[in-house]
A and B are shown apart, each in its own frame.
Chain A
Amino acid sequence: MANLSLRTLTKSYGQTEVLHGIDLDVADGEFVVFVGPSGCGKSTTLRMIAGLEEVTSGEVVIGDRVVNHLEPKERDIAMVFQNYAIYPHMSVKKNIAFGLRSSKMSKSDKEARITEVAGILDMTHLLDRKPAQLSGGQRQRVAIGRAMVRNPAVFLFDEPLSNLDAQLRTQMRLEIKKLHQRVGNTIIFVTHDQVEAMTMADRIVIMKDGHIQQVGTPSEVYHAPANTFVAQFIGAPSMNMLAGTLTKDGVVLASGQTIATQHANGTARSILLGVRPDDLTLEGAGQAIVTGHVAVREPLGAETLIYVKTDAGEIIAKADGRTPPEVGAEVTLSADGTNLHVFDADSGAVLR
């Protein structure tokens, strides 16, 4: 087990720089999730940690060693791939044993280790099967088993759940989290799914266009997003953004309404006022933000999403699941002042 550090890590393909100086410290035993839209550089970063991609500049440090020039096998890592990369012509047992092929353990030690891992993953009865006879979730477990069997310092997961159906994904998510609690290795997990990131991570690294946008616990990135991108990427449905101007009295929205915030400032500047659908209420608690008519309702059971047409644009809010307002009804959406986020309109950065 070991710490992992990335120091101004960059990656270029020819003239094109795709990763622009990533700095990150991961503590021993931490579960860190890289999340971002496709093309944000999260997988590239992971592959550079793994040693599958050359580092253009900067350093990858695992434990106390700079591993830039080490082969993947010398880095004390293991990786689980999106398509599992388990060999179709080998039994489950041989697949798991493949992870130990280059190890200097004795044959009986290897055997014991495979049995142990199969036990942990609850696959002892599957060891003689071929991958074609397994379900998607079981294949995923084989891939995890092959990584685990080597007992690496750092586990790397490259979107391992995206080929599974929704239900299985939720289940595997939980299993991986439990596994982490039990085994305690450092895990770097890449996903494009913010729900996966929120549910599994100790800390989330949100990336976009080769830059880290924010690093923080799930609670931090949700409740205190650093910029509009993070604010809208994390949380579903995503945060409402209302254009306005910040004045000494508070935020003046396009609709002309003034909303008091603690950001009030002498010099007027364009801002975006962010408020999560969850933080908007219909009951009138807090201060009124906007008034409009319900355009569409999306019942989800426990709650109903309502799309409200207002002068400031369309706003998504959550209403009660049993007694949602009718389509066309006029509603006033209110929010607590502490749940309002103010972002600079140009840079998108949060104003605190």
Chain B
Amino acid sequence: MQFYSNLSIKQKQIVWAWGFLALPVLFYGIIRFYPTGTAFVISFQEWNLLGDRTWIGWENYIELWNDPVFWKVFVNTFEYLLIGTPLSLVVSFIIAYHLDKLRFMHGFLRMLYFLPFMTSAVAMAWVWRWFYQDVPIGLFNNLLAAIGIPQIAFLNSTTNALPAVLAPAVWAGLGFQVIIFMAGLRAIPQSYYEAAKIDGVGWWTVLTQITIPLLRPTIVFIVVFSSIGFLRIFDHVFNMTTNNPGGPLNSTKPLVLMIYDIAFNGFNMGYAAAQTVVLFLILLLVSLAQLWLLRSD
């Protein structure tokens, strides 16, 4: 106790801070960082989960480089990212922008937009899966048939399947992004708009010169957040293509699904770990690139 009372105020604060931080540090150390570090190690080994681990150097990465399925999956993952993120950003902004102006039933509509975010991805995926079925079961194809358009093979076509799986994923994330956008819009002082009104500028100028620049921090957050989400997409794909996960012909398979498949169906832990490392690097680079592109000056 003598030791503690001799500390300066600053040192005492540090002691307390570390006292409180100790538990989460321990938790993250054991639950997060230790397995992450182990994954890096395993990526250089061959291991079937039960047997011995053998060191094989870069062999997993070389195999990855020469694996056509990996490259297909790599492209798929970026398709999810490059279609999903901009699309959800634009759609959620348009919804938030208009919802913000609306007073009538504002709370109810906001709740409706937020509802999918709270819904279980599994349940949602199965409902959408049903939407996509052929006539006479699927909702979409029934509608198309009713207006005389030939039915579309949504989940059974190698070209349509990925967008079809992506749609509910975008839809599920919208509610959250709309809420974040609305908070951002509310934070812009009303007098900025009033000043613009008095200066007589049009709505497009107001949108592009005032609203969007002032929303930059919100946009950065949403872009980074949703990019990470789309790069790690798994449950929607898995549940909408259960009889042939990632199919047809790997056309919807994202990286996480491939990792899962190789690790827990193929029991090739080393190879899966190597892919995890690659995914980690992609996430890191994409996030850094976005932060750099959207940095404030």
Using a CB–CB cutoff of 8 Å, the interface residues on chain A facing chain B are 50-52, 71-74, 77-79, 81-83, 85, 87-90, 98-99, 101-102, 146, 150
From the candidates B195, B205, B209, B214, name the one contacting A81 in the complex (CB within 8 A).
Answer: B195
Residues of chain B within 8 A (CB-CB) of A74 are 200
Which has the most chain A C-beta neighbours within 10 Å: B192, B195, B214? B195
Chain A residue nearest to B194 (CB atoms) is A52
* Complex CA distance for A87 and B196, rounded to whole angstroms: 10
Q: Per a CB cutoff under 8 Å, which of A50, A72, A85, A90 touches B189?
A: A85
- B213: interface (CB < 8 Å): yes
**Please, how many angstroms separate the alpha-carbon atoms of A102 and B189 in the complex?**
22
Size category, B interface: 10 to 19
Point out the residues of chain A lying under 8 angstroms from B192, CB to CB.
85, 87
Bound CA span A187–B45, Å: 80
Residue contact B199 to A85, C-beta cutoff 8 Å: no
A102 and B198 within 8 A (CB): no
B126 to chain A, nearest CB (A): 45
B residues near A72, Cβ cutoff 8 Å: 197-198, 200
Contact of A50 among B196, B198, B202, B205 (CB under 8 A): B198
Kindly identify, within residues 186 to 211 of chain B, every residue whose CB is under 8 Å from any CB belonging to chain A: 189, 191-192, 194-202, 205, 209-210
Alpha-carbon distance A146/B199, docked complex (angstroms): 9
Q: Are A73 and B194 in contact (CB under 8 A)?
A: no
Q: Tell me the complex Cα distance, A146–B194, Å.
A: 13
CB–CB A73/B197 < 8 A: yes
Partner-A contacts on B (CB < 8 A)? 189, 191-192, 194-202, 205, 209-210, 213-214, 216
If A73-B200, A88-B214, A150-B199 touch, whether A101 touches B205 (CB-CB below 8 Å) is yes
What secondary structure prevails in chain A residues at the interface with B? loop
Q: Looking at the assembled complex, report how far the CB atom of B56 sits from the nearest CB atom of chain A, in whole angstroms.
A: 53
- A84 CB → nearest B CB, Å: 8
Taking A73-B200, A89-B214, A146-B199 as given, write out 16 further A-B residue pairs in contact, using a Cβ cutoff of 8 Å, ordered by the A residue number: A50-B198, A51-B198, A52-B194, A52-B197, A52-B198, A71-B197, A71-B200, A74-B200, A82-B191, A83-B191, A87-B214, A88-B214, A89-B213, A89-B216, A101-B199, A146-B195
In the bound complex, CA of A73 to CA of B196 (Å): 9
Closest to B296 in A: A89
Smallest CB gap from B205: residue in A: A101
On whether the beta carbons of A73 and B198 are closer than 8 Å, the reply is yes
How far is B187's CA from A123's CA once the two chains are assembled, in angstroms? Answer: 29
Q: Which residues of A contact B210 (CB under 8 A)?
A: 87
10 shortest interchain CB distances as A-B pairs: A73-B200, A85-B195, A102-B200, A85-B191, A89-B213, A72-B198, A81-B191, A79-B198, A101-B201, A72-B197
Interchain residue pairs with CB less than 8 A apart (8): A51-B197, A52-B197, A52-B198, A71-B200, A72-B197, A81-B195, A85-B192, A89-B213
